[in-house]
């Protein structure tokens, strides 16, 4: 397999969560060219479960790759940049899928003893594909015993791998807040209730929640990434909308922050004469690594000649946490050395990490098989 070609093709067709139609078709076509009669494919929405039967199976291991892109206008200027305007693989899911295909192909030549399921999962960026997968009978029938996954790490050099036992990725909740009040002519503010002012003041005010209402020993983030209000420059806004995300290291702190946001909302409804509607969108459970796997994985990394670095918890979210809630396993960071980070329009991971990923995932599957 030419890992670069595969990755560059996937990079050109980033799609929104649960709309990964071309991506799914590309994966199916590719798998068709490499598979033999040990491979069974189950389609699930825009995702796939690909099972490879082992030579003498005693258990089933799963490797999960997410599939969706992000609503970002790519600015890398690469010859193979996204052909879908407004969408980009800016979180490395093109890498994650390519590595899965590379490992699948490698297993065709170097079979493993146990069964392996490749989960190509839609909608990691939202609304979340992991939780619904876990409740499908198709997935349950695969009876996965152990699971792992990787995420590209732009800040680590190629050849460096990082993880830790316990919490790796935060608990998250999306946040959508709509403000409705009385708009009107820009020249008569006293006859209106300006929702642009209400929402912007609200955005500044709720910054106090993390600094003053949560335990400073625990990590918490409240970010508003998008703010919209009004229609035109000389009309006082009748509506405004904030879109953000809450992240915490302790799952209970999410609820504390939500309760405080709701208290601010009640106060703002009175002081800004408006109605405020709050929707928490999708919520992801934290990624908690099983320490027994991390210890074994560390040995695999080091015996592969790669550098192992103990990770710190990250405030990124990952719905892979739902898999780990039900199935023992772990997640790790794979160094891809990019000057621009995850979710950046200029993210440009070093493709030499593809082969590192394929070899490491294959070897991890083999080492887990031997235990
Ligand atoms: C690895 C990564 O970047 N994941 C995303 C997951 C997003 C979850 C959800 N849409 C939210 O914003 O809460 C991240 O932004 O961390």
Annotated catalytic residue, options 66, 115, 124, 337: 66
Which atom of ligand 1 lies nearest, measured to the CA of 343?
A: 3
The answer to whether 125 is annotated as binding is yes
**Do 243 and 204 touch, CB atoms closer than 8 A?**
no
Whether the per-residue pLDDT at 371 is higher than 70: the answer is no
Residue by residue, DSSP assigns 90-121 as -SSHHHHHHHHHHHHHHHHHS--SSEEEEEEE
The predicted structure's pLDDT at residue 276: 98
Residue 2 is a catalytic residue: no
Q: Tell me the ipTM for this assembly.
A: 0.95
Q: Residue 62 has what DSSP assignment?
A: E
- Per annotation, catalytic residue among 125, 194, 250, 318: 125
Query: In this predicted model, what pLDDT tens digit does every residue of 11-30 receive, in sequence order?
Result: 999 999 999 999 999 999 99
For residue 131, pLDDT beyond 70 = yes
151 among the known binding-site residues? yes
Would you say the CB of residue 284 lies under 6 angstroms from ligand 1? yes
How close is the Cα of 12 to the center of ligand 1, in Å? 21
* pTM for the full predicted model: 0.92
What mean pLDDT, rounded, does the chain reach?
97
pLDDT of residue 1: 73
Domains of the chain from N-terminus onward: 3-166+287-370 (3.40.630.10), 171-283 (3.30.70.360)
Residue 190, annotated ligand binder?
no
Residue 342 CB–ligand 1 contact under 6 Å: yes
Q: pLDDT by residue (tens digit) across 43-58? A: 999 999 999 999 999 9
Instruction: Quote the pLDDT of residue 368.
Output: 84
Q: E strand or H helix at 322, and its extent?
A: helix 320-326
- 280 close to ligand 1 (CB < 6 Angstrom): no
Rg (CA), the chain: 23
Which pLDDT tens digit goes with each residue over 187-218?
999 999 999 999 999 999 999 999 999 999 99
- pLDDT, tens only, 145-186: 999 999 999 999 999 999 999 999 999 999 999 999 999 999
Our answer to whether residue 319 is catalytic in this structure is no
Mean pLDDT of 338-363: 98
Average pLDDT over residues 320-342: 97
Mean pLDDT, residues 83-101 taken together: 98
Band of the pLDDT at 318, cuts 50, 70, 90?
Answer: very high
Ligand 1 centroid from CA 106, angstroms: 31
Query: Which band of pLDDT confidence, cut at 50, 70 and 90, is reported for residue 370?
Result: low
334: which strand partners? 152, 161
């Amino acid at each position: 397999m030419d890992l670069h070609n595969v990755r560059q093709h996937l990079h050109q067709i980033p799609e929104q969560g649960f709309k990964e139609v071309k991506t799914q078709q590309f994966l199916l076509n590719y798998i068709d060219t490499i598979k033999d009669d040990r491979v069974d494919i189950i389609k699930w929405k825009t995702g796939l479960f690909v099972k490879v039967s082992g030579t003498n199976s005693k258990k089933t291991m799963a490797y999960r790759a997410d599939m969706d892109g992000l609503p970002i206008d790519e600015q890398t200027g690469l010859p193979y940049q996204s052909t879908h305007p407004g969408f980009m693989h800016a979180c490395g899911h093109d890498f994650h899928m390519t590595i899965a295909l590379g490992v699948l192909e490698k297993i065709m030549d170097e079979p493993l003893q146990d069964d392996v399921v490749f989960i190509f999962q839609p909608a990691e960026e939202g609304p979340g594909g992991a939780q619904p997968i876990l409740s499908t009978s198709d997935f349950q029938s695969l009876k996965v015993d152990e699971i792992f996954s990787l995420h590209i790490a732009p800040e680590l050099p190629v050849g460096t791998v990082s993880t830790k036992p316990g919490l790796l990725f935060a608990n998250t909740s999306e946040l959508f807040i709509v403000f409705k009040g009385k708009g009107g002519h820009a020249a008569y503010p006293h006859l209106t209730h300006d929702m642009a002012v209400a929402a912007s003041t609200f955005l500044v005010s709720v910054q106090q929640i993390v600094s003053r209402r949560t335990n400073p020993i625990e990590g918490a983030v409240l970010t508003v990434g998008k703010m919209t209000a009004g229609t035109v420059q000389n009309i006082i806004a009748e509506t405004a909308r904030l879109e953000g995300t809450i992240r915490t290291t302790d799952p209970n702190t999410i609820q504390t922050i939500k309760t405080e946001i709701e208290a601010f909302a009640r106060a703002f409804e009175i002081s800004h004469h408006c109605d405020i509607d709050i929707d928490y969108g999708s919520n992801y459970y934290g990624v908690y690594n099983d320490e027994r796997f991390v210890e074994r994985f560390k040995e695999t990394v080091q015996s592969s000649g790669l550098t192992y670095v103990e990770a710190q918890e990250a405030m990124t979210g990952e719905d892979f946490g739902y898999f780990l809630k039900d199935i023992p396993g772990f997640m790790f960071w794979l160094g891809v050395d990019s000057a621009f980070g995850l979710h950046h329009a200029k993210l440009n991971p070093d493709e030499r990490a593809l082969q590192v990923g394929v070899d490491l995932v294959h070897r991890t599957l083999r080492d887990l098989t031997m235990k």
